[in-house]
Every structure is written in structure tokens, then in C-alpha cells.
Structure 1
Amino acid sequence: MSNILDGKKVGLIRYGPPGTAGGVIMHNLKKYLHEKISDKSTGLAAVEDVMVLRRGTDDTGAWESPPDHVATYTGKFLRSWQVRRKLPKFDLYHFHSHVLLAMARKIRPTIFTIDDIIPFKLSGTMTEKKLDKFKQTLSLWKNATRLAAVSEYTRRDLMEILRVPGEKVGLIPNGVDLGNFTPGDKKEARESLGLPQGVPIVLNIGGERPNKNVVRVLNAFTLVRREFPDALLVRVGFAEKKFDPVITELKLEDAVIRNGQFTGDPVAYYRAADLYICPDISGGFGMPSLEAMACGCPAVSSKNGAFPEVIGDAGEYFDPYHTEEIAAAIIKVLGDSDLRQKMIVRGLARAKNYGWESTAEAALREYALALEAAE
């Protein structure tokens, strides 16, 4: 099967700037595929990345890792025909965004990474207009040569909800940089972030969209504070102003720290925390939980979505719809140092299964299958 890759040039196409999840993932995938090419463990001739951006936001000069190519479009909305005309010629096009599925009408062979299709299953995650657009875009999967889910959970959803044939959808899991996300000194991490020493810190990273379950987490934290009066909930990610009154009403102003402007490396936050909480109603992978485990931070998680698949036996789980269960899981882990240590050891072992080396190997297998399907 590997012979079909010989001499081929692969394009990694992502939508949006480097700081987005897709940008980080494709940057790392490119890095590790280049290593495969250098050590001659694959027959690929080249791997190049392309960033799709609206014109006027394409000044890549200040970016730490600029892409090999930029394909721009004009206007408020993505125009696939404009982007398609600016793409370099590749033997295989790997897109990391369902938004770009329209490209598959005119380009072959293609493989599209799909993170999740949660809006199909959870109401309220999008406006009705955005949901209609989301469904319309996903319906174009038939034009793709192959799809790659980031988890078995998402793969099952694609087969069961969108009726994608099993032989057409594979698996390219997200990866974690095990050289960067490593355990470190908790005291130093807290000092660097201006966080207090000697108090329990519960960390959560991500936005505050409806599926992020913010209100239940805040209510659960009032119960946690009864057992641990000095405990802090540190939220890193875009902060919605609509939750300010909730924090005030629950009298959590001194218990919740929200860093809505943070866009840097979160390693120090993972090292500073006593546990990481993933309260999401559902999700297609759960990168922050994986990063937390790699940094030696125990993961307490929703039992829904792909989270148990990624975290495995390293986690403590709860029903995200029950506030008391969320609080009980946090209290259990904070109050048991032996349990935390076991979770740390298991989490470090679990994270090793998701190094970028493994992700690159999975990508190469999927590339070969996509090229075979296109013959």
C-alpha cells in the first residue's frame, strides 16, 4: 500500500490563521510528515501547507510559522471558486475544515478531516441560520474522495447520522506535542501566571458556547467551595459577558478567574492546576484534556462524546447534565491525593498514545487509501 505514496506531493489546507485549532494541528502534522520524508520512511516527495484567508487578513510576515502558500478570497463569505483557482497543484489535497467541502466538487483526490458534527445532535449550539448552512455544507461529503474523523466517536456519527459508508471514512486522531506538553514545577507555574500558592485550582480551557456547559460548572463550583472554601476555578478562553451576572448571583467573584484574552501556550496553566475539568455536553475529541494529561494534570470529564475514548482509564467521569455529579467528581479528586497520583501516572501513559508520530502514521495510511480510491 505504501508504494502508492511514492513521489507524491500532498497539500495540507486549513481555514483560518495559525492560532486556530486547525492551524495548530496542520502545522504539527506538516512538521512530522517532513520528518518522515527526511528519514525516508515514506515515499512522499513533499508536503506543503496552504492557509485559506479572507483578503486583508493575509499578512503572514509577523507569524511565527507562516504557511508555504496563502489562498485568499474577497468579501464577507468564503468563495470556494476563488480559493480553488489559487491552490497549488498537489497529488492529494488534505483539508482540515468542513467549511471547505465545496472544494471537492472540482478537486480530486481529497481527504477531509472532520472534528465533529455535534450541531446535528445538540439543539442550541448554533442559530437556525448557521445550522442550516452547517447541514448544507456537510451534505457535500459525497464529493470528497475520503473522510477522516478525529475519533471513533465522530466516525460513528458520520456513518450513523450522515450515512457515510464505513469504507469511506477513516481515522486521523489529533496529536499532542509530547516535547512541549510535559510535567513541570507547580510553584513556578503559578508564580509565572500570578496565581496563589497552596490553594486548589481547577482549570478549564475553551470558549463559553452552549455545549461548554458553563452554567452547570459554575453552580457545581458553589458546592465545591463548601468542601474547599479557597478553591479557584480558572477559565482560559473567550469569556462571554452574559455569564458575569451568573458569577455575581452565585457569589463566585473571588472564586472564578477568567482569562479571556489568552492566546499563548497553555502549558503553564496545566502545570499550575490540581485538576483539569472538561464539562462539555459533547465533543469530538477533547484536546485540552489530552494536553492536561501530558502535563501531569489529572482530567475530570464529561462521560459524553469522545472524551472517554481519549482519556480512557486515566479520568474521573460525570454526567454533564447533573450539577451534583460534576461537583462530586471534582471534590473526590481534590480530596484524594493518592487518586490524583494514580490519575497522573495513567494520564501520562495515555498521552503517549497520541504523540504526533502516531498521528502522522495514521495520516499516511489514510493518504494511501484516498489515492487508491481515486485510481
Structure 2
Amino acid sequence: MTVLYDHQCFTGTAYGGVSRYFFDLMRVFSDRSDVQFRLSLLLSNNDYLKQQPFNRFWTYGSLARNRRINQVVSQINRQNSLRQIRAGQFDVFHPTYYHRYFLDSLGHKPFVLTFHDASTERFGDKYPELGAGLYETKKVLLDRANAVIAVSDFTKQDILRYFSVDPAKIHVVPLSTSMSELTGTVRAASPASPAHPYLLFVGKRDLYKNFTTFFRAVAPLLSRYPDLHLLCAGGGNFSPAEQTLFRSANLSNRVQYAPITSNETLFELYRQARAFVFPSLNEGFGIPVLEAFAAGCPAVLSDRSSLPEVAGDAAIYFDPDDIDAIGTAIERVITDDALRTDLIQQGYRRLGHFSAERTAAQTLAVYQSLL
């Protein structure tokens, strides 16, 4: 069978969980004889595809900083995808994000939609920037899709909560992390990591990621343990509001930003941290949890959404709205070496439930069910 993937998640992003997910599917499928795939993409700066390109495409480097250029690139890629969809040289179509552009051109070919999370539906009223109008698009796509992949059971329940979808066509297929391939390796210290103990926060910090509440919870710990620092990996440089927050707590010199330049760099940041803290109010899956497990980093997590489903007994949990509970959970982990060791070992064991090969095999089974 042949699967067609489109351009969407690879057009404007160099990194990201969605493009990594589809890249890993194609990476595994490229070593299998029972499935072939095509990727309809002409222009991209995606870093994963540079490692192992699955078709010929052109990069446009620094031009990606120009909004108008990105709009033109998106249109070029979309037209290329439409040409391949209309040609029909595939058995199953799997769009890589939420857009309706292909519906009138697909004919009777089946398509699979991956639903990542319901953040727009949960927080759209509070944070309109999450995606104005995205609900209606998701609604149409979910209705028209022949099969829906939910990345966790929590996400499946959210689909059923916010949309009218036949439960029988929703398949739960957990994600994985390629960082597990680095487990057990010994690497030199990353130049981005500080020479002192630190808590690690990874990824975006705005909206439902709950960073401000987290910082207010951790500020007393930083004051109580003068060697302890907070390192924020990825998510962009600190905003003026964040800098003001740090200054008001007299902790500007205890909070550091580190860009994520590669999987290896991020792996080292996890590996050397006293703990990884994930205070998010909503995650469809939570790949950073698996990244922490892969690097042998104790995880202290919000007890919301999919995170307990993914981490199981391999993490310490807290109520993300309770500042005292957040601080207590973190302090418990950073001061108890026996607990840290146990969490690290449990994390390795929990990681064994997730792999790119398993995700790909379960996804292929969904494709095959449509033929």
C-alpha cells in the first residue's frame, strides 16, 4: 500500500512535535517492505527532513523570517499537494495538520486524521490566539475522516467531549520519542548547561503552559537553596513580562534560557537536571515526559490531562493550580536521592512501553483497516 503525506507541518517549522511525529512514521516505514509513502513537499526548512530527506525539496533559509515569503511557500506547497492528491497515486491520504484544502480533490480515497489535543476547545475562549476558527475546521475534518488517530486515551475522550464523532472510528495510537535512541550513551557536558544544580523547564511558556504559576511556586525554592537554578530550554527568549517577573523576585541571575539546537543538546540538558518539571494545564500526549525518561531525568508533573496516562507510576504529580503543592513536590524530588534514583529507574521501564516502531505499526494497522 502507498500512503500520501502532505506538506502542512513541514512548511513553516524547523522543529516541532507534529513534524517529528510524521518524520518518525516515515523513517520507520522507509525500512519496511509492506508500506510505501510519498511526501508532497517542494520547499521546507524542516531540520528533521535535512537528516533523512524522503523526497527532493528546496530550503529557503533566512527567507523564512519574512512572513510574506512563508505565505508564498505555503501556497506553492499546497498546490503541489493538490496535484498529487488529484493524481490519486496512493491508497490512503494522511494530512499532517488541520486544513480543509484537500477535501474537494480527494474523491473516494480514504483519509486518516491525527488529532493531537483539544487545547483550542478547552482554552479558546480564554486564549483566542490558540486558533480562531480552528474548531469548525476540526469539526469538518473529523466528520469526513475515515479514521481518526488520537494520541492518547485522554485525547480520545476530549474528541468525544467536544465533537460528535463515532467512537468506533477513533484509534488510540500513543506517540514516542527518538531521544530513546540516545539512552545509555555517554556524552560531554553541553556548553549550554550551567555548572550548578538546576530544574529544567522545556518548551513554550505561554498560555496554558502555566509557566508564571510554576515560577511563583519555585521562587521560594530558589531562595531556600542558593545553588539551585532554573533553566528554560526552548520556547524563545524571555519576554519583557517574564524578565520583570524574575526581577521582582530578585532571581534574574538564577534563571537561564538555553536554545534547543539539537536532540543531543536537549538530551544533555535533561540528563544533567535535578528534575524536569512540566506544570502544563493541558497536553494531548506530552512527549517531553518520554524525553526526560530517556535521559534519566526525574519527572515532576502536573496531574492534569494525558500526563498521568503517559508517565504512570514513574513520576511525582502535583495540582498545577496549587503553588504550595508544586513547590512541595519539587522539593521532595530534589532533596531525596533515593527517590530520584527510583524515579529514574521507573522512567526507563516506562519508556519501554513507547517506541517509534510501535507507533508506526499501530498506525499502519489503521491504514490497512481502510482498504
Is TM-score (shorter-chain normalized) higher than 0.5?
A: yes
Write the mapping of 1:43-82 to structure 2, written as runs, cut at 5 A.
43-44=34-35, 46-51=36-41, 63-68=50-55, 75=72
Residue type of the partner of 1:239?
Answer: N
The residue number in structure 1 matching 2:3 is: 10
CA distance in structure 2 between the partners assigned to 1:191 and 1:59 by the alignment: 23
Identity percentage over the alignment?
23
Q: TM-score, normalised by structure 1?
A: 0.84
CA distance in structure 2 between the partners assigned to 1:296 and 1:131 by the alignment: 35
Q: Do residues 31 (structure 1) and 18 (structure 2) align? A: no
Residue type of the partner of 1:173?
Answer: P
- Root mean square deviation, CA, Å: 2.7
Deviation of the 1:279 alpha carbon? 0.8
Residue type of the partner of 2:246?
Answer: I
Residue type of the partner of 1:223?
Answer: P
CA distance in structure 2 between the partners assigned to 1:76 and 1:137 by the alignment: 22
The runs of 5 or more residues in structure 1 that have no matched partner are: 1-7, 38-42
Contact residue 234 and residue 258 of structure 1 kept, 8 A: yes
Q: Match of 1:180, SS? A: helix
CA distance in structure 2 between the partners assigned to 1:191 and 1:135 by the alignment: 41
Write the mapping of 1:219-258 to structure 2, written as runs, cut at 5 A.
219-237=216-234, 238-241=236-239, 242-258=241-257
Deviation of the 1:11 alpha carbon? 2.0
Change (3 A) 1:50 1:202: farther
CA distance in structure 1 between the partners assigned to 2:256 and 2:298 by the alignment: 20
Q: Match of 2:296, SS? A: coil
Write the mapping of 1:311-326 to structure 2, written as runs, cut at 5 A.
311-326=311-326
The residue number in structure 2 matching 1:193 is: 192
The residue number in structure 1 matching 2:160 is: 159
Q: Do residues 118 (structure 1) and 119 (structure 2) align? A: yes
CA distance in structure 1 between the partners assigned to 2:180 and 2:303 by the alignment: 28
Contact residue 203 and residue 273 of structure 1 kept, 8 A: yes
Change (3 A) 1:231 1:52: farther
Q: Match of 1:207, SS? A: coil
Deviation of the 1:22 alpha carbon? 1.9
Deviation of the 1:132 alpha carbon? 3.1
The residue number in structure 1 matching 2:260 is: 262
> 1:214-233, CA deviations, whole angstroms, 9 ceiling, x for partnerless residues?
11111111121244221111
Deviation of the 1:112 alpha carbon? 1.2
Q: Match of 2:352, SS? A: helix
CA distance in structure 2 between the partners assigned to 1:333 and 1:189 by the alignment: 25
> 1:74-127, CA deviations, whole angstroms, 9 ceiling, x for partnerless residues?
6487695663224563111122312x3442443221101111011211256642
Count of matched residue pairs = 347
The residue number in structure 2 matching 1:3 is: none
The residue number in structure 2 matching 1:103 is: 102
The residue number in structure 1 matching 2:136 is: 136
Contact residue 276 and residue 298 of structure 2 kept, 8 A: yes
Change (3 A) 1:82 1:31: closer
The runs of 5 or more residues in structure 2 that have no matched partner are: 59-68
CA distance in structure 1 between the partners assigned to 2:160 and 2:101 by the alignment: 20
Which of the pair is proportionally richer in strand?
A: 1
Q: Match of 2:123, SS? A: coil
Deviation of the 1:332 alpha carbon? 0.5
Q: Do residues 296 (structure 1) and 304 (structure 2) align? A: no
